[in-house]
Amino acid sequence: MKNLIFLIFISCSLLEKISNTKTPQKITLEKKDRIKNHHELIFNDFVNDKTVKKISGITLSYLRNLSNKIILSYPRFFKKKQRPELTFYLIDDKKPIYLSSPDGKVLFSKGLLAKYLENESQLKSFLTYEMIRIEKNIYSLKTLHPKGSYTLNEIVSFSRLPVQEKIKLHQWAYHITEKLNKDGDNYLIWLKIHNRNFIDFEFFVGDKYTLFMEEQGLREFIVKNYSKRDALIRNTKSSKDFYKFKNRLL
């Protein structure tokens, strides 16, 4: 009983924290351009690190084809006439990590691929999230002193967004994956995987309360806009190309 009361208290406190979080201030186009250019500068240096490998060949084609399917599933959202061509990079690290930069660089770690990308829906989930960031130029206001090389911790911290921005991203990602083969439930499952494996994702997320807040914000959005309250439908089907993609990189 004491444990139940404690959990209720924690849940209420976190929800209050969500409600009291300040809405991010509006940013001028000039400042957005400065943010974009700064992120691109930092990531241009980081992808030259010896722990980062650029993906090419058949593997690159597979990832681009999958990304194009996501774009075509919702052209009203992905409506840029000119968007950067996506390039992909594998980070040699056991921790689950995924990142992007405004010029179309998408990075993910071996740890994410080996342990948490078990099917194509999970791959689409993280790709959709990062493609939204690229499409809408949603990047942190933080700055790093340009020095040519950076630790993974510096890059991950630099890339983190405020929780309200992340909730908005999750809502868009859910809506888009729902458009793509009715796969929205798998996006929520993807977020729940982060929550259930917080010890693994702590380095990536940083704040132990953030994941709870993100999942709660997405759940409220789903109930309000989709009237879904039943058990989640898990889609674990994957193409042969997905398994070939994993085998080539691991």
DSSP 195-227: HHTHHHHHHHH--TTHHHHHHHHHHHHHHHHH-
Chain-centre distance for alpha carbon 220: 19
Rounded to whole angstroms, the Cα distance separating 90 from 54 reads 6
For position 171, what pLDDT does the model report?
96
Q: What is the pLDDT of residue 179?
A: 86
Task: Give CA separation, 191 vs 110, 139, 216, 242, in Å.
Answer: 19, 20, 10, 21
Q: Rounded to an integer, what distance in angstroms lies between the CA atom of residue 118 and that of residue 48? A: 28
183-195 per-position pLDDT tens digit: 899 999 999 999 9
What is the predicted pLDDT for the residue at 13?
Answer: 46
Tokens of 30: 């000039």
pLDDT on residue 233: 80
Give me the phi and psi of 219, to 5 degrees please: -60, -45
pLDDT of amino acid 137? 93
The gap from C-alpha 221 to its chain's centroid, in whole angstroms, comes to 18
Distance of CA 10 to the CA centre of its chain: 26
pLDDT score recorded for residue 18: 37
The crossing angle, in degrees rounded to 10, of helices 210-226 and 163-179 is 40
Q: Which residues of the chain have pLDDT under 50?
A: 2-24
Query: What's the confidence (pLDDT) of residue 27?
Result: 61
Residue 127, pLDDT score:
98
Q: How many Cβ atoms sit within 10 Å of the Cβ of residue 102?
A: 22
Name the pTM for this structure.
Answer: 0.87
